[in-house]
Structure 1
Amino acid sequence: MAHEALLQEYEARRAKALAGGGADKYAKRSAQGMWSARQRIDYLMDPGSFIESGLFGSSGVYPEQEDETQTDGKLAGFGRIDGRDVCAVINDFTVKGASTSATNSKKVGHMKRVATERGMPLVLIGESTGARLPDAMGSRGMGLLLGNDNTQFRRLREVPTAAAAFGPSFGSSTWLMCQSDFAIMHKSAIMAVSSPRLVSMALGEKVSAEELGGWRLHAETTGLIDQFADTEEEVFDQIKKFLSYMPNHHREAPADAPVPAGSGADMHKVFDILPESRTQVYDMKRVIKCMVDKDSLFEMKPRFGKSAVTALARLGGKSVGIIANNPLHRGGALDADACRKIVDFIVMCDSFNIPFVMLVDTPGFQIGTEAERAGAPGKIMNFMNAMTLVTVPHISVIVRKSYGRAYVCMGGGRHSDEVAAWPSAEVSFMSPDFATKIVHGVGHGEPGFEEALADIRKGADVWGLAAVYAAQSVIRPQDTRDYLIRMLDVYKLRMTKGVGQHLMRSWPTSY
């Protein structure tokens, strides 16, 4: 065949592959307000930077389906996001519902290997009906599709991985979301092991898609996602922002960023935020925003375990994790969900060389039947274990109260590199109010209560903690930002260029 004819065949095949599932399916998606896979690539990647891998892939089980399986339903390749090299896989729902096949599984595996071996962040965009039928049926189908890569679901947190779910996201799309360091759902997405139709057929259970795996379920109940979004643009903007705090891989520290003008200018406002009464609630997020670089706060899991705040931010231009109790919810008491959320965040920070700060204002762990049924003791022990395995710089600041074993989990004693406290801090085995009732047998409103409370509270003030060197510093609230920037610099990992030991890199995704 002449060169010209070969090139004509190439162009024809390329055009067919780029057409995906065809104009009609794209038009239908557009009418629903959903982007095509290639529109998603164009928005995510720097202009002109995407190089596709596997454009001519198609079904490897039924060659006669070649014309129906352009790119085999998954686009894969290399590009740049804000100038940084990344690997990406974007599902094309117009081709067989982006169902998982032998060929497109190879594409996903290849991208994951390249990202890991060459030190590039990985982005996975899911929208899928699950395993491809009938390809996966029978022993031949199972032999071709499943179990051929024993590292497929190994998670060692070697490169930052961000995943998004759109529309139906069953099977592999769900698995990859659960394996990622940052998972975000478009509000159209349904993330579940299998579809409502299959659940109904197999179990006779009638359930709506939203009940089975909607964004509210995963944002508020399971905690399997970190964020959610109304629009396509917002999904990809959040992925880009998340990656901006991350290093390219686990063997380097995150890059610095310019410090915006006005950062720290509101530190004096913490006096207006923090109530004088220890029993009055406030929103810790307002305190955090005063401390960190302007507009740098990026919260993760905001609707899950709400008595704790976990967020990425910057201090003096450097990436930092923020872990804080939030008295606005449960008075800041740590329930099972809050413990799990914090541990998940600690693991991510330590795995990717991100120092973190703990802002403490908690009455302790939640107790009672609700806590026990949620497995609180196990979550608390995971929290304690994780704190003993941290290898990145971490500083604890006691803002108001720190009682019981939660004092240790929130960085008390030698569980932080440095412990500081505000003059308002109060530390004890339990709250002075409750201790007064137990020790003296008197409660609020009863004769002698106020005198007994004052005596017990005096022994809980910050000066006792400082006297025994359990708090290395007592600082003015308005000096907290400068203190944290200085201490994080003091404790930076100079001898390893900012790289920790990653003792938790294989920590389970969910437990």
Structure 2
Amino acid sequence: MNLDVQAAAGEPAIDDELSRRESHALAMGGPDKIRRRAEAGLLNARERVDRLIDPGSFREIGLLGVSSAVEADRHKTPADGKVTGYARMGGRRIAVVSNDFTVKGASSSMTNMRKIGHVKRVATERGMPIVWFGESSGARMPDNMGARGMGTMLGNDPTQYIRDRKTPWASAVLGQCFGSSAWYACLSDFTVMRKGAVLAVASHGLASLAIGQTVEPEDLGGWKLHSEKTGLIDRVVESDEEAVEEIRTFLSYLPAHCNEAPPCMEPPDERSDALRAARERITRLVPESRRQGYDVRKVIEALADPDSYFELKPRFGRVASTGLARMGGRPVGFVANNPMFKAGALDVDACEKITRFLVMCDSFNIPIVLLVDTPGFVIGIEGERRKAPGKIMNFMSALQLCTVPKLSIILRKSYGQAYLNMGGGRNSDEVAAWPSAEVSFMDPAYSVDVVTWGRDVGEAERERLRQQMEQDSGVFGLAEINAVQSVIRPENTRDYLLDMLEIHTARLSKGIGQHRMATWPTTF
């Protein structure tokens, strides 16, 4: 059979027809809409993909897809508003979904959801990270209206919103993100948001109609709400270009899929001036007085490879710092109390933030380092109203379910249940402490108030009790019963961690965890 045969006389050649359809799809919503986006400083859907991937590596899937519900829309829906396909990023295979807002607001339809479903299924089965560029107006009208519309569009793919963390997902919220683009942002392991974008269930216009009062987009789902209050996003940027770079950085710490170890880089020279200075600097970063605050992120930066700390959710749950870094070229996850805020006492937001981070690290074989300096959990009416006991136990369960190496270092103080949540006892593979560390059920100063409650005790007796309790809280008592395996000097902490990471990662599984939390909800 001759596949090169021309079409019947009077009809365009098959090849010409293919070229026409390809050109139509690649033109997106037309030159006027593309120009207006450029004038507003926004990249279009295809430019976003091009910025992300290795040049010339994009293999588009579903280019010729169009609306199938309304005949009159066929010629108005190039690629049906969503650009999908496979590419390489830094030499690694990835899958990409980029919403084209110039085509019916990138609204969800039968065809484009099939495109997404196909790429998502292939990426999951073949072990490729997925990148989502979010900007969509929600479900397409009138396609989804009525019983037939709902029955045709929704619920036909029972795996549509299952997140089993076989491969990493990274999302960028780059405009109005309603419906599916909001769902996939919330399901992702990493979400970056451009200032001016909106992430919400539905538009502010629809919300205003629903509640009978004006709703502003920023109040409904702006970057401040999601970076500081909900914790649904991990980083905030000023431009599309910055968002692309954030995604590239995040994925550089993660493996392509759950059954391989994270990618290592060339380790820095341990004898370099930068690392020698960091070892010396760390001795001055943590004040002796447990009541004096400091920024634990400076400690992390002194321990990690230079310029490698990539903090996640820095504006949310600020009493803790979580992020990815490298040590000796190897990706690690840091969880640290930050005494700069609330003395490092863990609140509900911090519990949620840490739990989510532990789940992500364990799912993708990233060892965890816990830096401990906390007086315990924030208690009071507000915390109880926000289900603090449940959040604390979610955190505890996640830590105990982790099968990647966990290394805990007590920098200064660790009291009460937080001692266990931050890796104390047998909740880490190794527990070490600095010589000045204190461990107790509660701060000795408050312990005196508890044991003398209702009694007439003089100041001399109170001071005697306080000094005794402080002495009993010292780390050497903990070391004597091997509840900490090592007492280390601050300047030796990096060397200790490098050794322990090598010891605990060189296992029979070759650094691959058991992924007990692969299906843990991404938000809870």
**Greater CA drift, 256-265 or 359-368:** 256-265
Q: Does 1:467 align with 2:483?
A: no
Aligned equivalents of 1:445 and 1:179: distance in 2?
58
Aligned equivalents of 2:311 and 2:456: distance in 1?
39
Contact kept, 8 Å, 1:355 with 1:393, in 2: the verdict is yes
Contact kept, 8 Å, 1:443 with 1:449, in 2: the verdict is no
Paired amino acid for 2:402: V
Query: How far 1:445 moved relative to its partner?
Result: 11
Provide Cα deviations, 1:247-278, integer angstroms capped at 9, x if missing partner. 01001111111124546331211122111211
Question: CA 1:179–1:493 in 2, change beyond 3 Å: closer, same or farther?
Answer: farther
Paired amino acid for 2:518: R
Q: Does 1:381 align with 2:381?
A: no
Paired amino acid for 1:223: G
- Aligned sequence identity (%): 54
Aligned equivalents of 1:121 and 1:510: distance in 2?
20
- Counterpart secondary structure, 1:166: strand
Counterparts of residues 13-412 of structure 1 (less than 5 Å): 13-261=21-269, 262=272, 264-265=275-276, 266-412=278-424
Query: How far 1:493 moved relative to its partner?
Result: 4.9
Normalised by the length of structure 2, the TM-score is 0.95
Aligned equivalents of 2:213 and 2:251: distance in 1?
40
Aligned equivalents of 1:188 and 1:88: distance in 2?
23
Alpha-carbon RMSD across the aligned residues, in angstroms, is 1.5
Find the counterpart in structure 2 of residue 429 from structure 1.
441
Provide Cα deviations, 1:295-324, integer angstroms capped at 9, x if missing partner. 110000101110011000001110100000
Provide Cα deviations, 1:76-119, integer angstroms capped at 9, x if missing partner. 01101111000010000000000000000011111110111000
**Greater CA drift, 205-214 or 5-14:** 5-14
Provide Cα deviations, 1:410-462, integer angstroms capped at 9, x if missing partner. 00000000000000100000001101222245999944443321111000000
- Counterpart secondary structure, 2:13: helix
Paired amino acid for 2:360: M
Contact kept, 8 Å, 2:133 with 2:171, in 1: the verdict is yes
- Counterpart secondary structure, 1:415: coil
Contact kept, 8 Å, 1:433 with 1:453, in 2: the verdict is yes
What residue ranges of structure 2 are gaps of 5+ in the alignment? none
Contact kept, 8 Å, 2:268 with 2:328, in 1: the verdict is no
Contact kept, 8 Å, 1:418 with 1:472, in 2: the verdict is yes
Aligned equivalents of 1:52 and 1:103: distance in 2?
15
Aligned equivalents of 1:444 and 1:90: distance in 2?
69
Contact kept, 8 Å, 1:493 with 1:499, in 2: the verdict is no
What residue ranges of structure 1 are gaps of 5+ in the alignment? none
- Selected match of 1:457 from 463, 470, 480: 470
Aligned equivalents of 2:249 and 2:268: distance in 1?
16
Normalised by the length of structure 1, the TM-score is 0.98
Contact kept, 8 Å, 2:372 with 2:414, in 1: the verdict is yes
- Selected match of 2:427 from 409, 415, 418: 415
Paired amino acid for 2:421: C
Aligned equivalents of 1:170 and 1:179: distance in 2?
14
Find the counterpart in structure 1 of residue 493 from structure 2.
480
Contact kept, 8 Å, 1:311 with 1:322, in 2: the verdict is yes
**Greater CA drift, 225-234 or 492-501:** 492-501
Find the counterpart in structure 2 of residue 2 from structure 1.
6
* Aligned residue pair count: 511
Query: How far 1:371 moved relative to its partner?
Result: 1.2
Provide Cα deviations, 1:193-236, integer angstroms capped at 9, x if missing partner. 00111011122132100000001101110111111111111101
Aligned equivalents of 1:368 and 1:446: distance in 2?
28
Aligned equivalents of 1:124 and 1:380: distance in 2?
31
**Greater CA drift, 484-493 or 36-45:** 484-493
Aligned equivalents of 1:64 and 1:260: distance in 2?
60
